[in-house]
Amino acid sequence: MSFTAKQLFPDWYKEAVKKEVQREELDNRRKGIDAITSRGERDFWNMLLKVYLGFKEINEDSVAELVNFFKAEDEYFSTKNDHLLRTLLGCAIAEKIELNDTCVSDYCSVAILIHIESSDQQLADLSKIALKSWVQECERTRKVEITTPHLDYNPTFVKHGVPTWAPETVVDAASLKKFADKIIESFNNVIKEFNTVSARFDNLKKERDQLVNGMTALSEECDILWWLFGGNSIVLNKPLKEVPAEIYGVVLAIELNRMTKNIPGIGKIENLLRKATEIKPELESKTYSLTDICAGLSKCRAEFPKSTQNSLIGAFLEISPLLNVLKAGLENNQDDALNILKTKSILSLEKAYSAADFASQLYKELILSRLYNEIGQ
């Protein structure tokens, strides 16, 4: 049996405080979490995620803003217990993901997934919730169920007609009331028919949207299959097997992101990436450090079209560790790029990736940037 984040909250909270808690305390914390999950601004959630994920450069005012959600219900809530605050924020993130009410839910899912190994997360179950939600949403946007719309329509108010006044009718109160009742009845019938027509148009709109989604999903699938079959890099305009090994994962992620038409992305890309890496057999069993990848980008940056460089640099988010590597490599020469990463990267520069693993992680970060833009201010 699986449990929702709301059902798991009491256990998560008790594990964080290491003591028995009263119902009133749980209710107060619950109100704080509900207030957080009602928010929809991207910068608010970006700030919250950085606090939860343990980013070092966090504005104290941001932490205070988050603490106030819980102090509003409990004036004695500790302002110094970092572990407790991050646990509560993790609970809020989990519940926002499961709400699945806006793009913020997808944004939170992907943000958690790209930090599975690179941060000190407080809730072990959160990454499972994020993965499940993201994969399901990716599949939902590509699932097409088209039924034949029911178009036949025979308005009943035509049968009833609209009553007319007969000149020979004797004008008295009773006959006027009878005529007025017939008018009201006729107009009520007209309103019912218009409601029926409106409902049918709504159904047609849904069918149209389903058809558009189906065509988009099919177009996306065809693009990716032809890309794999042809074995050519769209960005570098050369065969994939000629792409330098240390930046092969970068190119795969960029090109898969460009071909992805449905947000929040492709949930199960491992097989695609495995097929793509088979094009270059020498990649098998090899890994490359962030230093190797950044140096390779600096060396080959002239091969990337300026528009591609600008879009990648523009996609940068502080919360995205690998986009940090891309930005440094594309904007600087090799030595300067590595010096920048030594001071700014939250990852070890010696951390090694296979081309497929790096592509998978970077792809999620590029999708995260698109979700950030889609949420808006």
User: pLDDT (tens digit, 9 = 90+) per residue, 289-334?
Assistant: 989 998 898 888 889 988 888 888 887 788 888 888 888 888 888 7
Measured distance CA(233)–CA(214) in Å, rounded: 26
Is 280 a domain residue?
yes
pLDDT at 265 over 70: yes
Strand (E) or helix (H) holding 353: strand 352-353
Interval 123-150 mean pLDDT: 79
In a shared domain, residues 292 and 370: yes
pLDDT at 151 over 50: no
Is 151 a domain residue?
no
Is 225 a domain residue?
no
In a shared domain, residues 106 and 40: yes
Measured distance CA(153)–CA(215) in Å, rounded: 28
Confirm if 355 and 245 have CB atoms less than 8 A apart.
yes
Is 76 a domain residue?
yes
- Of 117, 142, 167, which closes a domain? 142
pTM above 0.85, yes or no: no
User: Could you tell me which residue, 15 or 194, shows the higher pLDDT?
Assistant: 15
SS3 333: coil
Q: Which pLDDT score is estimated for 161?
A: 52
- Of 111, 142, 173, which closes a domain? 142
Backbone angles phi, psi at 53, to 5 degrees: -80, -5
Q: Which pLDDT score is estimated for 247?
A: 94
Query: Which residues have a Cβ under 8 Å from the Cβ of 66 and sit 6 or more positions away?
Result: 36, 48, 51, 85, 89
- Of 107, 142, 177, which closes a domain? 142
> Which amino acid is located at 237 in the chain?
N
Closest CA to 283 of 245, 241, 232: 245
Closest CA to 325 of 311, 310, 346: 346
Is 226 a domain residue?
no
Residue in the structure block whose two tokens are 């993130």:
93
Percent of the chain at pLDDT above 70?
A: 89
In a shared domain, residues 120 and 180: no
Domain total of the chain: 3
Confirm if 377 and 269 have CB atoms less than 8 A apart.
no
Confirm if 228 and 276 have CB atoms less than 8 A apart.
yes
Q: Which pLDDT score is estimated for 157?
A: 45
Choice among 142-156, 310-324, 347-361 with the minimum mean pLDDT: 142-156
In a shared domain, residues 135 and 163: no
Residue in the structure block whose two tokens are 């699938």:
221
Q: Report pLDDT digits (tens) over 20-72.
A: 889 999 999 999 999 999 999 999 999 999 999 988 777 888 899 999 999 99
Is 24 a domain residue?
yes
Q: Which pLDDT score is estimated for 377?
A: 56
Q: Which pLDDT score is estimated for 139?
A: 86
Q: Report pLDDT digits (tens) over 211-243.
A: 777 788 888 889 999 999 999 999 999 999 999
In a shared domain, residues 88 and 9: yes
In a shared domain, residues 180 and 252: no
Q: Which pLDDT score is estimated for 144?
A: 60
Interval 94-112 mean pLDDT: 93
> Which amino acid is located at 183 in the chain?
I
Percent of the chain at pLDDT above 90?
A: 42
Helix axes 290-300, 248-259, angle to 10 degrees: 70
Q: Which pLDDT score is estimated for 213?
A: 75
Is 206 a domain residue?
yes
In a shared domain, residues 213 and 333: no
In a shared domain, residues 364 and 254: yes
SS3 92: helix
Q: Which pLDDT score is estimated for 158?
A: 47
Is 241 a domain residue?
yes
Q: Which pLDDT score is estimated for 227?
A: 93
Confirm if 345 and 351 have CB atoms less than 8 A apart.
no
Q: Which pLDDT score is estimated for 1?
A: 58
Helix axes 103-113, 355-375, angle to 10 degrees: 150
Q: Domain of 284?
A: 231-375
In a shared domain, residues 258 and 183: no
In a shared domain, residues 237 and 323: yes
Strand (E) or helix (H) holding 289: strand 288-289
In a shared domain, residues 337 and 293: yes
In a shared domain, residues 235 and 214: no
